[in-house]
Amino acid sequence: MSEKIPYKIYLSEDEVPKAWYNVRADMKNKPAPLLNPGTLKPMTAEELDGVFCDELVKQELDNDTAYFEIPQTILDYYKTYRPSPVVRAYNLEKALDTPAKIYFKFEGNNTSGSHKLNSAIAQAYYAKQQGLKGVTTETGAGQWGTALSMACAYLGLDCKVYMVKTSYEQKPFRREVMRTYGADVTPSPSNTTKVGREILERFPDTPGSLGCAISEAVETAVTHEGYRYVLGSVLNQVLLHQSIIGLEAKAALDKYGVKPDLIIGCAGGGSNLGGLISPFMGEKLRGEANYDFLAVEPASCPSLTRGKYAYDFCDTGMVCPLAKMYTLGSGFMPSPIHAGGLRYHGMSSILSQLYHDGYMRAATVKQTEVFAAAEQFARIEGILPAPESSHAIRAAIDEALKCRESGEEKTILFGLTGTGYFDMVAYGQYNDGLMKDSVLTDEALEESLKGLPKVDL
């Protein structure tokens, strides 16, 4: 290709993907099904219908359909913040003095500050289509809650968010963003649910937890007529919606004949990584092309690299179905030192299966190294990245520096999932030299894995 590649590649409205891609269709070994925690049998559509809305249940269970057409309303909403650009990181390449070619797909240019909106609008849309009144969810730091609030505001759907109490109090900005979009935000645990009241009675001063907030959101959905529960990561349906990231990235690179050698994404529950790599992975699974995929995890929450591949609860509260995945145990909590997000104890069943089958690699990075990369990137490329996204930046910089040594002109694509405007407390710790690293110890891991449910299929 002799054509000069622009700093940013934008797709035109005509070029934007009109269907999501379901990578499960091309997997020989399908991801293991969700299990009913009572019967230990695969969850049926009927069992899931009470929690999720109908179309999403279909998407969750469909391992065969390769493409799902994106409804026009969702395409219209995508236009308000998509297509997101593929950026050629010329400035970073120059600063690193590397022969590597670095691209990133930037998903942070929307008010939720992350890629979460891609699935939030889809989940809200199908709830609206089904004639529901509203949806419930939990949020920790608030990216997912913000995204869902925005989607619900657009569609005129009620949105009830249970926000971990400590975040509710310590992150008032996120809370106010959600309220500005009309969401009903409740600090969790609360007295609006049975499970919340029980926890408050036993632990009146608890700061709350994501597990508890999930339990409250699910209870509210199943006890209120016309409500369903929605979730921002881990699920198959979420990876399906997030495939828009990879589809756009691939279309943009294809325009200039660019084929990445290495694709890097940060990995928490897997929604961003799964979305970014899906269409490329499809080619690899079909034997049409080869790519090196790298999942990057925090050293303090290393589910793929050090977790066990087993059935486990999706939630700390053990009320949700069991999923087969790489897990650190559903009771796992990263060290309180950890500030970089990606705290989920497990990993998407799809990505777990692909990793298990050898289709991708995984690595861990320490958080001071992550923030060093974040700062370097911000100063050179302008964008202040989210700590989560900065895991991928760290790995991309390290790979580019290896290319400087080897002289290899590797083409690297990484996912820049979001911006760090609401993470300045962690940046402040780093700026003041107060940030420390934490690495999960073998003893703590062993202890955490003791809680795995006994599932003998």
Binding a copy of itself (rule: CB under 8 A), the pick from 68, 126, 154, 313 is 154
Task: Specify the stretch interacting with a copy of itself by CB under 8 A; choose among 161-169, 234-242, 380-388, 409-417.
Answer: 380-388
**Least Å distance between CB 296 and a copy of itself?**
21
Binding a copy of itself (rule: CB under 8 A), the pick from 37, 42, 71, 182 is 182
Q: Examine residue 377 and tell whether it contacts a copy of itself (CB under 8 A).
A: no
Binding a copy of itself (rule: CB under 8 A), the pick from 50, 226, 257, 428 is 428
Q: Examine residue 199 and tell whether it contacts a copy of itself (CB under 8 A).
A: no
**Cβ atoms of residues 135 and 161 within 8 Å:** no
**Cβ atoms of residues 346 and 312 within 8 Å:** yes
User: What part of residues 81-110 is at the interface with a copy of itself (CB under 8 A)?
Assistant: 81, 91, 109-110
Binding a copy of itself (rule: CB under 8 A), the pick from 44, 169, 172, 409 is 172
Report the phi/psi class of residue 126: left, alpha or beta, with left for phi > 0 and alpha for psi in -120 to 50: alpha
Distances in Å between the Cα of 335 and the Cα atoms of 233, 283, 414 are 22, 38, 27
In the chain, what's the furthest Cα-to-Cα distance? 69
x/- track of binding to a copy of itself for residues 109-128 (CB under 8 A) = xxx-x---------------
Tell me the C-alpha distance between 249 and 112, whole Å: 20
Q: Examine residue 10 and tell whether it contacts a copy of itself (CB under 8 A).
A: yes
**Least Å distance between CB 90 and a copy of itself?**
8
Question: At CA 297, angle to CA 295 and CA 292, rounded to 5?
Answer: 15
Pick between residue 313 and residue 422 the one whose CB is nearest to a copy of itself: 422
Pick between residue 115 and residue 345 the one whose CB is nearest to a copy of itself: 115
**Cβ atoms of residues 339 and 13 within 8 Å:** no
Task: Specify the stretch interacting with a copy of itself by CB under 8 A; choose among 284-292, 330-338, 373-381, 393-401.
Answer: 373-381
Q: Examine residue 72 and tell whether it contacts a copy of itself (CB under 8 A).
A: no
**Cβ atoms of residues 311 and 455 within 8 Å:** yes
Report the phi/psi class of residue 333: left, alpha or beta, with left for phi > 0 and alpha for psi in -120 to 50: beta
Read off φ and ψ for residue 195, nearest 5 degrees.
Answer: -65, -35
Q: What is the DSSP string of 91-152?
A: HHHHHHT-S-EEEEEE---STT-BTTHHHHHHHHHHHHHTT--EEEEEESSSHHHHHHHHHH
Residues that bind a copy of itself (CB under 8 A): 6-8, 10, 12-13, 76-77, 79-81, 91, 109-111, 113, 150, 153-154, 172-173, 176-177, 179-182, 374-375, 378-384, 419, 421-422, 424-425, 427-428, 430-431
